[in-house]
Amino acid sequence: MIPVSFLVLTFAISLTGFACILAIPPARSPDTAIGLPFWLIMVWGPSLAAIILSARNHELLDLLSRTIKVSTVPWEAWGLVLAPLVILLLIKPFTPGEAPSIGAGLVAGMIGFNLILGPLGEELGWRGLFQEQLNQRIGWLEASLLIGIIWLVWHLPLWTIDSPHAQIALPLFAAHCMLYSVIIGAAYTISGGSILPAILIHLTVNLAANLALFVGFRDPNAWFSASLIPLCLLALCAIGLVYARTGLIGIRWLQM
């Protein structure tokens, strides 16, 4: 059974934040003091839902402790964390435009901004609670694909406003969303309940997309197109890593 309470609460929180963004024009950008609180509510829907439900079940301390749990994370998961940035470096020589300079301060700002408006607000929910429960009921790959579809639907309101996501062709974003979900789901599955690799992979895929603008990919679609095949290969490698580590294919009828 899908944990419906998590999904209902997640979408209720996120859509409340989005409704405020839609109703208040100055809040349309997270870069403004007016917009940031509402964007935080919208983005943090999954993690806030997980925190509320975990607190209700007296499991909040366990959920929070798993965000910094390192002891159970294998080296393969750290490889998946770094992989999006490695892909960016490998593709860089083939960029279509000139690369503007970027300073360490801007990179640090990107890391902090992306961490708060992304992985921390989502992964306690998507992976820490939702994937954890689904993995116990269905195959991990099935769970990852299901989460990928729901994750995509959760993002869709951003295409109704002038957001950075709306600049990306929806089919391209959908493909990336599914691939990210498989890669992150694989890292979570082999990490003994640790949410840390999921948070960090989510961070590095966002960083790679941001940094792509500074290595010559002036159009976000150029990066999302160029990185699609490498990410497909990375997702296949991630599936292989889970099988090598656990013997699990991730699809119930194939496992029987």
Residue pair 202/118 in contact by the 8 Å Cβ criterion: yes
Domain interval for residue 145: 73-255
Domain count, the chain: 1
**Mean pLDDT in residue range 116-123:** 95
**Mean pLDDT in residue range 149-168:** 92
**Mean pLDDT in residue range 18-33:** 88
Residue 18 lies in a domain: no
Residue 32 lies in a domain: no
What 8-state DSSP symbol labels residue 34?
Answer: T
Predicted TM-score (pTM) of this structure: 0.94
Which residues are CB-neighbours of 32 under 8 A, at least 6 positions away?
26
Whole-number pLDDT of residue 100? 66
Residue 37 lies in a domain: no
Residue pair 61/204 in contact by the 8 Å Cβ criterion: no
Residue 42 lies in a domain: no
CA 128 to chain centroid, in Å, comes to 12
CA-based end-to-end distance of the chain: 20
Q: Which tokens is 162 given?
A: 């002038």
